[in-house]
């Protein structure tokens, strides 16, 4: 079987380092591994509109921001088809048919939809499009026959629902669609990176994000202000590593080579340390004597090691926005070709392909002649 990857992001803001470790970094690795037959990464503007219907300008402005973040992170339009959801009308048609395969009560039980409805305070006024977005997401995935979907763990219920739709469709109409599997980050720190304030999730509304496109002075200011261990008052006090956001970020970003390259961070006026691994650094922090500032300086260097080259690539692409739109237009064209092929198979299986079915027409003409 072909190995086909698909994933996407809602364009409601610039992408932050939570997106990066949760999915974007992995996508770039998968892309460059050369092991996959097709890779689709898309900007889910239609899904973003399901709860931003009165704010189309916000969604539109963020489409280009997300596209720039993709290119900056290393997605390569030669290897990955990058497209915009709303430009693929086939997805709407698939969703329309899938709606008959899902019950209202099943949607009401989707845990992600449930939490999101609460978070957004919809109460009794849930937009139908928002309520049914798991169905449209199943269309996004199945239109491309994707079997590998790299996303965060909050998307598991969406994948489960998509698999149910595939099974139902295939059992009723025949084996047309492919069941997708989720691909989660391996490292638990990357599953859900907390905000800089230590809160469970990075979110724009909480103002606790480090964006991929933040300038270096902003990154430093955010790292400096990060939540650590509130019990670590004196440098000499023992510190906690678990639940300490600085260490969670190191778990997500730090590589062994960083200890050699950024050894200077641990040379101070009063004390100096040499560490060869994150475990050694953690041990020292737990034992006491290691100040937060030193660890933060190191984290900043570690983050910048990833962010600085991305910032430079972004600046380059920002110089030619028409070319970025042209890249997206081509991506949409390629994506549409694939989606319309699947749609034709779906229509065929559902027996709504009247004009392509010569046999149907001749059979019925015989039947009516012989009446
Ligand atoms: N719901 C996803 C998110 O909020 C975005 C998305 C839409 C998606 N359609 C998808 C992700 C299909 C993977 C596959 O991040």
Tell whether the torsion through CA atoms of 119, 189, 148 and 37 is positive or negative: positive
Average pLDDT across the chain, whole number: 94
User: Closest ligand 1 atom to the C-alpha of 136?
Assistant: 9
How far away, in angstroms, is 338 Cα from ligand 1 center? 18
How many CB atoms neighbour CB 319 within 10 A? 8
Which residues, in sequence order, are bridge partners of residue 140? none
In tens, the pLDDT along 115-150 reads: 888 888 887 889 999 999 999 999 999 999 999 999
pTM: 0.94
Q: Is 207 helix (H, G, I), strand (E, B) or coil?
A: coil
Determine the pLDDT at residue 119: 84
Asked if residues 213 and 69 have their Cβ atoms less than 8 Å apart, the reply is yes
151 lines ligand 1 (CB under 6 A): yes
Burial-class residue 140 by CB neighbours within 10 Å (0-12, 13-18, 19+).
buried
Ligand 1 centre distance from Cα of residue 180 (Å): 13
Decide whether any atom of ligand 1 lies within 6 Å of the 49 Cβ.
Answer: no
Please give the Cα distance from 18 to 69 (Å, whole number).
13
Question: Is 88 a residue whose pLDDT tops 90?
Answer: yes
Mean pLDDT of 79-103: 98
Please report how the helices 292-318 and 216-224 are oriented relative to each other, as an axis angle in degrees rounded to 10. Answer: 150
What per-residue confidence (pLDDT) applies to 219?
A: 98
CB of residue 9 inside a 6 A radius of ligand 1 = yes
Looking at residue 190, its pLDDT comes to: 76
Of ligand 1's listed atoms, the one at least distance from the Cα of 9 is 5
């Amino acid at each position: 079987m072909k190995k086909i990857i698909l994933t996407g992001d809602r364009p409601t803001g610039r992408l932050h380092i939570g997106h990066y470790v949760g999915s974007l970094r992995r996508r770039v690795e998968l892309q460059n591994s050369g092991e996959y037959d097709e890779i689709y990464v898309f900007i889910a503007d239609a899904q973003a509109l399901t709860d931003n219907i009165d704010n189309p300008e916000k969604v539109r402005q963020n489409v280009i921001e997300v596209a720039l973040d993709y290119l900056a992170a290393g997605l390569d339009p030669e290897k990955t088809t990058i497209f915009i959801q709303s430009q693929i009308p086939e997805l709407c048609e698939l969703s329309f048919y899938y709606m008959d395969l899902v019950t209202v009560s099943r949607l009401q039980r989707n845990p992600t939809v449930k939490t999101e409805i609460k978070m957004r305070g919809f109460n009794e006024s849930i937009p139908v499009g928002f309520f049914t977005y798991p169905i449209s997401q199943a269309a996004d995935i199945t239109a491309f026959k994707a079997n590998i979907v790299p996303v965060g763990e909050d998307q598991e219920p969406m994948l489960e629902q998509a698999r149910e739709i595939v099974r139902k469709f295939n059992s009723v109409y025949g084996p047309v669609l492919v069941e997708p599997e989720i691909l989660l980050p391996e490292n638990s720190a990357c599953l859900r990176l907390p905000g800089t304030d230590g809160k469970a999730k990075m979110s724009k509304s909480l103002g606790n994000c480090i964006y991929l496109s933040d300038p270096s002075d902003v990154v430093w200011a955010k790292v400096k202000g990060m939540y650590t261990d509130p019990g670590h008052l004196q440098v000499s006090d023992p510190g906690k590593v678990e639940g300490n956001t600085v260490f969670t970020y190191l778990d997500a970003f730090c590589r062994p080579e960083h200890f050699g390259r950024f050894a200077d961070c641990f040379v101070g006026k009063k004390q100096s340390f040499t560490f060869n691994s994150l475990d050694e650094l953690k041990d020292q922090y737990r034992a006491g004597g290691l100040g937060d500032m030193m660890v933060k300086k190191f984290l900043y260097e570690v983050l910048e090691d990833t962010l600085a080259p991305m910032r430079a690539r972004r600046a380059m692409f920002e110089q030619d926005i028409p070319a970025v739109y042209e890249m997206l237009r081509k991506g949409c064209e390629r994506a549409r070709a694939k989606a319309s092929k699947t749609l034709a198979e779906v229509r065929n299986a559902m027996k709504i392909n009247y004009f392509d079915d010569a046999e149907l027409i001749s059979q019925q003409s015989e039947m009516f002649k012989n009446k």
